[in-house]
Chain A
Amino acid sequence: MRRLFAILCCYVATSLTSVHADEPMTTVDADPATLTTVSPLPSDPVAEPVSVETLLQSLTEVKLSKALPVLKQLESLGGVALLPMFKGMLEGDLYFVKSSKEVVMISTIKGELTAQGVLSKQPLPGVSKNQLKKIRVNNKLRGFLRQAIARLQISHPDASKRLAAVQALLTHLSDETIATLERVRPQEQDEDVQAMIDLALALHQSDSADPAVRLAAVYVMADSLESDARNKLVKIIEHDTDPKVKAAATKALKQINEEIEFYGFIDQLFFGLSLGSVLLLAAIGLAITFGVMGVINMAHGEMIMLGAYTTYVVQLMMPNAIEYSLWVAIPLAFVVSGLVGVLIERGVIRHLHGRPLETLLATFGISLILQQLVRSVFSPLNRQVASPEWMSGTLDINPILSLTLNRLYILAFALLVFGLLLLILRKTSLGLNVRAVSQNRDMAKAMGIRTDWVDAMTFGLGSGIAGIAGVALSQLTNVGPNLGQAYIIDSFMVVVFGGVGNLWGTLVAAFSLGVANKFLEPVTGAVLASIFVLIFIILFIQKRPKGLFPQKGRAAE
């Protein structure tokens, strides 16, 4: 019973800390020995602290509730040298050898347990897990450890590490922290870190008894977007007795709130543009087949899906080179989807020329077959496609605004594909032929253009670009047999909204629909937002049946 309770406590503690841990935490290994037996402890653990060695010694013996003073002394005595130890303790990797009481850090390399002495820095040979005992931590100790780590890291050579360290200290500014910060401030070279230290000091000074000091602190805080500064300002407005300080704080808070609103707007805009880039990628292939050739391809979504599955298969083929898999997947997806597109054109669409409604039905049939094919081959379950390292993570602009890198890359990628396509249509002979055929098929034929061949190539190009879109989509969502279906209606809307046969119209339509969708979302909720956008387009098409940028002249007839 007791054992069960202990495991439970341990579990709760780990899950609690992992929520607000700054670094990803490895799960604390519950050592059965420590959990079941309560080790006998000396009554007065911190009797005569002499050196780091003795402190470490006492750390192994001390009761959990009395470990804090020991750690404090360790920090002041040991300094930066003990940084790895503090980190290890925070992550639950700190153990001691039962027989010699030597404190060690454990790590598992290739499934093998290795223990390294904290002071000796030497690996201990042949240590097994039951010879070790864990040095336990609780949430109170974890809080102190984080602070201590941050204080010690302030002198780290890497500026970004120093910045993160000061930032971590903001929430809880103890006197030692302030002392440390005041000590390092004059030597600090990096401007960002300087500002952050100034903010920390200002946060501390805002509790000062002198109104002038408080006022100065408020001015410093006004320039910061850190949530700690904002919370402090709110507190000052509520409690401060000095009207001057109060007024300054109110003004500062207003300024900060405005800035937050502005960055919130930018954030929304970014998400809108990101959605727009996805729509653009999905719709641009359709803009060619539907817009230029006048062929409705209901299997377009499945071309996207095939591209996404190609990415998945490529990653399966080269599991050790996920970083480079995308560079293989992009051309391969283009080829796969393009080939399938050419096959569809040669096998089916060619025979239905001039009968758009039949083309629609036949391609829909093809889309059903492709979906079922993928379901039979890969299973109906969604597949996860890994993102390469360089695409994951965020671009932090300030404490409020951070842009996810994969969305940023896909935005750029969509524009790149769009530009390339425009170049192909404008500058190559294929583009010239495509435009000629789309404007006047009979005349083009009379001029000696092989319209059959042009049709197949155009369809292949459109489908291939859909495949590339699939590669991009696989980085944002799961890959499943229904992936394409989700985008087909949206893509049609984009093409129709932008004006058929007009690539620039597709670009404008994709981004405006994406942005509109994301700005509606907070007001109405995601589902209603897409419904409103759909209804808007339905109404818009009634008003302007040819879209935003209709084709002019005889080609439009």
Chain B
Amino acid sequence: MNQLMRFSRLHGDSKVAPFVAILVVLTLLASMGNLLMPEDSAFYVSTYTITLLGKYLCYAMLALAVDVIWGYCGILSLGHGAFFALGGYAMGMYLMRQIGDRGVYGNPELPDFMVFLNWTELPWFWQGMDQFWFAMLMVLLVPGILAFIFGWLAFRSRVTGVYLSIMTQALTYALLLAFFRNEMGFGGNNGLTDFKDILGFDLQADTTRVTLFAITALLLAVILVVSHKILQSRMGKVIVAIRDGESRARFIGYRTERFKVWLFVYSALIAGIAGALYVPQVGIINPGEFSPLNSIEMVIWVAVGGRGTLIGAIVGALLVNFAKTKFTAIMPDGWLFALGALFVFVTLYLPQGLMGLYKKMMDKRRPDNSDSHGSDTEGKNAEPAVKGGNV
């Protein structure tokens, strides 16, 4: 019975089409506001705002990636920043190669930091990164393969729950340490920065910025629709079943670890794409993106919005990051207090996030609506995945 209700919730919640429409319209408006309006117009949107919005949308995509596995499959990854950063580094490498001889040292082959380290030739893993298609392939392949190996090892030996979370955190921590090393060939502490252009377009130009922003919004919409379809399909139902009772799903005859591995890889791919879109807009990628704090922050975006709703993840990411921008500007010291309090508050009082709150309010308004049991699923099954066991 519980499972049934959850399915109905899953289907009822995701009003994807209207959300996509709103997203597209807003993106169009913002783009036109930047390109067509004169600067003194009330409708003018500054390039700074466009870049900021683009950054938020990348975060939203990342939150979507976390929601797909956490909200629908109960896998809490505290290492999604690693996939995000790897995608970002792949894009960053392409952008570094595009600088060519315009760097400080004017070396046509080697990026500045390699000249600085007295390297004479390009390391093997930098080969081919000057080709856009190859770099984009790497954006998908590197996080995808890492996620596959990690997921295959972890899920096959049935590492679940907090163990898995800690393992993913260790993964991103190990990568953080590794990328800080100069000898790794990724620019060490400073990372990759000082990009000039992408596919021949100047990165500082308004048109490039707006295009990047629009592409991000478009891809976010596409990924949202695709994820929604996947999770509504038969496969999606198995995935939710794994979340609610993995042993039971296994006994019925599903190879649960395979579903989990593929979903994990899919999620990592989304994170990689988000990273690749993030780097040209922000203009820098450094090992800080691997820090465990970043990865855990993503989880709170999803939790605030409401997990297992897809749209909630996007809303949460946008809201929290907007709040972060405002908050850090007004009182920089206060932000970590606020973020910490948000963690505690959401887990204690808002386990279903804003989407859950919204649904609760809608249900209250329509008490006769018989096919919605939202108000009673709320309290009882706040944590669906883990029952029993002391871990």
Contacts and interface: CB of A to CB of B under 8 A. Distances in A.
To the question of whether A and B form a pair in one complex, the answer is: yes
Interface of A: 294, 296, 348, 351-352, 354-362, 364-369, 371-373, 375-376, 438, 489, 492-493, 496, 500, 527-528, 530-531, 534-535, 537-539, 541-543, 545, 555, 557
B168 to A, nearest CB: 9
Given A541-B159, A545-B158, A489 B173 contact: yes
A294 B390 contact: yes
Contacts of A542: 153-154, 156-157, 159
A189 to B, nearest CB: 55
Contact of A357 (B158, B300, B386): B386
Contacts, number: 134
A454 B171 CA distance: 34
A381 B188 CA distance: 24
Contact of A362 (B167, B173, B339, B344): B344
B340 A369 contact: yes
B330 interface: no
Interface string B140-174: 00000000001001101111011101110111011
Given A496-B166, A537-B170, 12 more contacts: A296-B162, A352-B347, A354-B386, A356-B386, A367-B340, A368-B339, A368-B343, A372-B336, A496-B163, A534-B171, A541-B157, A542-B159
Contacts of A371: 336
B310 to A, nearest CB: 19
A365 B386 contact: no
Given A492-B166, A527-B181, A354 B383 contact: yes
Contacts of A367: 340
B73 to A, nearest CB: 12
Contacts of A294: 390-391
A362 B296 CA distance: 11
B239 interface: no
A517 B270 CA distance: 35
Contacts of A364: 296, 343
B277 interface: no
Nearest to B343: A365
Interface in B340-358: 340-344, 346-348, 351
Contacts of A373: 337
B389 A557 contact: yes
A531 B178 contact: yes
B352 to A, nearest CB: 12
A368 B344 CA distance: 10
A367 B347 CA distance: 15
A357 B169 contact: no
B92 to A, nearest CB: 21
B180 interface: yes
Given A368-B339, A369-B336, A538 B76 contact: no
Interface string B59-80: 0000000000000000010000
B386 A531 contact: no
A379 to B, nearest CB: 11
B382 interface: yes
A539 B156 CA distance: 12
Q: Counting chain A CB atoms within 10 Å of each CB, which of B161, B166, B337, B339 scores highest?
A: B166
A351 B348 contact: yes
Contacts of A500: 391
Given A531-B177, A534-B174, A372 B337 contact: yes
A538 B167 contact: yes
B167 A365 contact: no
Nearest to A376: B333
Contacts of A530: 174, 177
Contacts of B88: none
Contacts of B347: 352, 358-359, 361-362, 365
Q: Counting chain B CB atoms within 10 Å of each CB, which of A364, A493, A496, A531 scores highest?
A: A364
B339 A365 contact: yes
Contact of B348 (A348, A528, A539, A543): A348
Contacts of B181: 527-528
A541 B162 CA distance: 13
Nearest to B170: A534
Contacts of B177: 527, 530-531, 534
A492 B163 CA distance: 9
A356 B162 contact: yes
Interface residues of B, number: 50
Interface of B: 76, 150, 153-154, 156-159, 161-163, 165-167, 169-171, 173-174, 177-178, 180-181, 292, 296, 299-300, 303, 333, 336-337, 339-344, 346-348, 351, 382-383, 385-391
A369 B337 contact: yes
A359 B163 CA distance: 13
A530 B178 CA distance: 10
B159 to A, nearest CB: 5
A545 B163 contact: yes
Nearest to A348: B344
B161 A369 contact: no
25 contacts: A352-B348, A355-B383, A356-B386, A356-B391, A357-B76, A357-B161, A357-B165, A357-B383, A359-B347, A361-B299, A361-B346, A362-B343, A362-B344, A365-B341, A365-B347, A438-B390, A489-B173, A496-B163, A500-B391, A527-B181, A528-B181, A538-B150, A538-B171, A542-B153, A542-B154
Given A356-B391, A361-B300, A538-B170, A366 B157 contact: no
Q: Counting chain A CB atoms within 10 Å of each CB, which of B76, B333, B336 scores highest?
A: B336
B169 A354 contact: no
A214 to B, nearest CB: 49
A375 B335 CA distance: 12
Contacts of A360: 76, 162, 165
Contacts of A358: 347, 351, 383
A86 B236 CA distance: 87
A19 B348 CA distance: 60
Contacts of A375: 333, 336
Contacts of B336: 368-369, 371-372, 375
Given A355-B382, A361-B347, A489-B170, A527 B180 contact: yes
A246 B170 CA distance: 55
Contacts of A493: 166, 170
Contacts of B174: 530-531, 534-535, 538
Q: Counting chain B CB atoms within 10 Å of each CB, which of A294, A365, A438, A496 scores highest?
A: A365
A361 B340 CA distance: 9
A356 to B, nearest CB: 5
A361 B343 contact: yes
Given A294-B390, A348-B348, A535-B174, A357 B296 contact: no
B188 to A, nearest CB: 11
B163 A366 contact: no
Contacts of A376: 333
Contacts of A496: 163, 166
A527 B157 contact: no
Contacts of A348: 344, 348
B162 A365 contact: no
Nearest to A492: B166
Q: Which 6 A-B pairs have the closest CB atoms?
A: A365-B343, A368-B340, A369-B340, A372-B336, A294-B390, A355-B383
Contacts of B166: 296, 489, 492-493, 496
Contacts of A489: 166, 169-170, 173, 292
Nearest to B171: A538
A555 B389 CA distance: 9
B384 to A, nearest CB: 10
Contacts of A354: 383, 386-387
A82 B208 CA distance: 83
A331 B351 CA distance: 38
Q: Counting chain B CB atoms within 10 Å of each CB, which of A371, A500, A541, A543 scores highest?
A: A541
Contacts of B76: 357, 360
A180 B170 CA distance: 63
Contacts of A356: 161-162, 386, 391
Given A356-B386, A358-B383, A364-B343, A372 B333 contact: yes
